[in-house]
Structure formats: structure tokens, C-alpha cells
Amino acid sequence: MKELEKLRQEIDQLDRRLLELLHRRFELAKAIGEIKRREGQGPLDLSREREVVRKLLDLNRGAFPEDSLRAVVLEIINACRQAQEPTRVAYLGPEATFSHMAALEFFGHSTEYVPLESVLDVFEEVESERARFGVVPVENSIEGTVSITLDAVSQYRVKVCGEVYVPISHHLLNQTGRKEDIRKVLSHPHALAQCRRWLRKNLPSVAVEEVASTALAARWAAVDPSVAAVASPLAARTYHLQVVAKHIEDYRGNVTRFWVIGKETPSPSGRDKTSLFFSVSDRPGALYAVLRAFAERRINLTKIESRPAKSEPWRYLFFLDCEGHVEDPGLSECLEEVRRHCLHLEWLGSYPRGDL
Ligand SMILES: O=C(O)C(=O)C[C@]1(C(=O)O)C=C[C@@H](O)C=C1
């Protein structure tokens, strides 16, 4: 037998074994689902999921690429969780936005997705429990905070229960893949801003127009041959577009952080983050007293940002993210002290940290 045939036979045998193992894993997850239902627990245990992924990544000594291993394992867990209870997830649509990519990364392909028109629609869908989770952008490494998300999280009765980082890379897409056919370029203002130099250099006389999302631009390009969209590779696949040019952003290392919002709190995973917001009285040292409480306990802050309180001019809400889980004794004691220095303090959630 030829060597190639022999190797293929071995792969076929291994694939059959993988399939058997997948079925067995699926049955075990269903049995766990039954126990959770009897005990009145929801199917999702984000901390356990992160632990399963981390254990396998730690064990990975072979040549199989880490990114691919992570994607395969997450997809298997997602299918098992979906078998326990179908999960409806809302995201900032339309299909093929970066929020959609974040949702797919977190919840996999076997989940029921609801694309919605605005960030507030996603919050409303989750608050009213029409969707169990929502995925919204919170911060971009170049453009900064998505203020509508911070404002909404302080107003709606939802919690932050996860985070996902998605590398942002823009492609120029149209129906033919030919630059000469382009009369107009459409995209979201952030995407256009991130590709401004490239567009000016490579398409100097072509009109550039802003639309509500990169995915909407791709939808336009799919029906108008004179239009090109600045959008994601997922948009190219979803709307059957050709790539005119890849990675046209002016800055590399562009990443967006997304929040997963819902009504549950993952248990501590050992690698968590906590988000909160607070207001302090208008006097010297008020903010310092809050920050000192974290500093004295050596609790690392990963972000702090102020937003107008809106109830009164020149009053602010401070949004803060720190390392740790609200159930960690050090952090819970810290928050007790912080509360004494604040006019108002609200905990927004503790969740496993996303992988950068
Ligand atoms: O361990 C559990 O609690 C399970 O339900 C199994 C499992 C998995 O497939 O590994 C599935 C869903 C949960 O979110 C966590 C893990």
C-alpha cells in the first residue's frame, strides 16, 4: 500500500475515535445538565468552561496550534451546553459585525443568535429576559470607550458576566475584487477613521460615506457593484464578497473588548475581573480615598474612566475595572471600605478575564 493511503487510513481511524469521544462527552454533559436542572441551576458555568479550556492548553505539548485548539474546544463545549438548554444570545447587528464575531468566539456556532439594531436594544432584550445573554462592544484600543455601553450598563438591570477580545482587521470588499470598479467606499465611522491614510493613498478620488456598521456597508456592496465596503473577513463570507485588499488599517494591534451581559454571576475562576461604578462627594481627596483602598491591598486596576452623571452638570460617575472576583475575601473587604468613601457604588459584575 502506498504511504499516503496508509497515513489516510490512520487519520480515518483517529477521526472515528474522536467522534466516539465527542458522543461520550455530549452524553456526560447532558447528564450534568439533568443534575443542574434538578438542583435549579442554569446550564452555564463560565468559570468551569474557562477551566476546561485552560487545562487543555496547559497540557498541549504537541505541534497542534494553540489558537486552533482553543477554537475547537470552545466549539465542543458550546455544543454540549446547547444540548443542556438552548441559549438565545443578542448582539449588535446586523450579521457579520465585530460584535457578531465576538459572540461567535464566546458562544460558538450552535447558539441561537438575535442581531439587533442598537446597543440599547441588546440591553433591553437581556433585561426583559427575551435573550439570556447579550454581546456589546465596550472599548477599542485605538478609539477608546464605547460610551453608550458604559451609560447603558449603569441604567439597565443586567450584569457583566464575561469579556471577549477581538482583534480588529479591516478588508476592502466588493463584488468583483477589482479596484477599478469602485466608485464609493462605505463603512462605520470608526472603521473609516482607522483606514483613512490607506484610503487616501490608494483610492484618492473615490467618495467615502459613513453608515451605521461595517456589516451594513457590506450589505450595500452586495447589491451595488460600484460600492466597496471596509469590513471584516466574516462580512466577506456572509455577503459573498471578494477581497480587493486585506488589512488596510493604518494601525496594527487594533483590538476591541466586548462585554457579555446577562443576569448571572460566574463563580470565581482564579483569573477574574470585577467591574463597578461609583460617585464621590465634591471635595479634595474623595477619589484618592477610593483608589487608596485598592492600592493598600495591592489590587490591580485595569481601567478607570469618568462619565457625566447626567442627573446634574459637572457631576461624574467613575467606571472601574480591577483584577479579582467579588467573592475573593480581599476584594470584598476592599469594596466594603470603598463603599464608605462613596456617595453611591454599584457592582456591575465579576467574570473570568478574556484572553488577549
Ligand atoms: O461542567 C459542567 O457544569 C457542564 O455543564 C459541562 C460543560 C462542558 O461541556 O464542559 C458545559 C457547560 C457549562 O457551561 C460548563 C461545562
- CB distance 52 to ligand 1 below 6 Å: yes
Which of 30, 39, 45 is the pocket-test mutation for ligand 1 (most atoms within 8 Å of CB)?
A: 45
Alpha carbon of 91 to ligand 1 centroid (Å): 23
Q: Residue 43 Cα, ligand 1 centroid: separation in angstroms?
A: 7
Which superfamily does CATH assign the domain made up of 171-245 to?
Periplasmic binding protein-like II (3.40.190.10)
pLDDT of the residue at 246: 96
- For the segment 327-335, the average pLDDT, to the nearest whole number, is 97
Mean pLDDT score, 183-192: 94
- Quote the pLDDT of residue 19: 98
Q: For 1-85, which CATH superfamily applies?
A: Chorismate mutase (1.20.59.10)
Sheet with 171-174, side-by-side order of all strands = 207-210, 184-187, 227-231, 171-174, 242-245
Mean pLDDT value across the chain = 94
Binding residues: 8, 25, 36, 45, 49, 80, 84
Domain boundaries, the chain: 1-85, 171-245, 266-352
**Rounded mean pLDDT, 5-15:** 97
Q: Residue 86: pLDDT band by 50, 70, 90 thresholds? A: confident
Q: Does domain 266-352 have CATH number 3.30.70.260?
A: yes
187 phi and psi, to 5 degrees?
Answer: -175, 180
Categorize the per-residue pLDDT at 251 as very low, low, confident or very high, splitting at 50, 70 and 90.
Answer: confident
Q: Are 78 and 110 in contact (CB under 8 A)?
A: yes
Q: With bands split at pLDDT 50, 70 and 90, how would you rate the model's confidence at 249?
A: very high
Mean pLDDT on 252-281: 94
Q: Is there a catalytic annotation at residue 256?
A: yes
Spacing, Cα 164 to ligand 1 middle (Å):
19
The answer to whether residues 293 and 340 touch, using CB atoms and an 8 Å cutoff, is no
pLDDT level of residue 169 (50, 70, 90 thresholds): very high
pLDDT tens for 283-327 read 999 999 999 999 999 999 999 999 999 988 999 999 999 999 999
Residue 1 has pLDDT above 80, yes or no: no
Q: Is the confidence at residue 274, as pLDDT, over 90?
A: yes
What is the 8-class DSSP label of residue 165? Answer: E
* Percent of the chain whose pLDDT exceeds 90: 83
Q: What percent of the chain has pLDDT over 70?
A: 100
pLDDT (tens digit, 9 = 90+) per residue, 106-163?
Answer: 988 889 999 999 999 999 999 999 999 999 999 999 888 999 999 999 999 999 999 9
φ/ψ of residue 157, rounded to 5: -85, 70
Q: Which atom of ligand 1 is nearest to the CA of 29?
A: 6
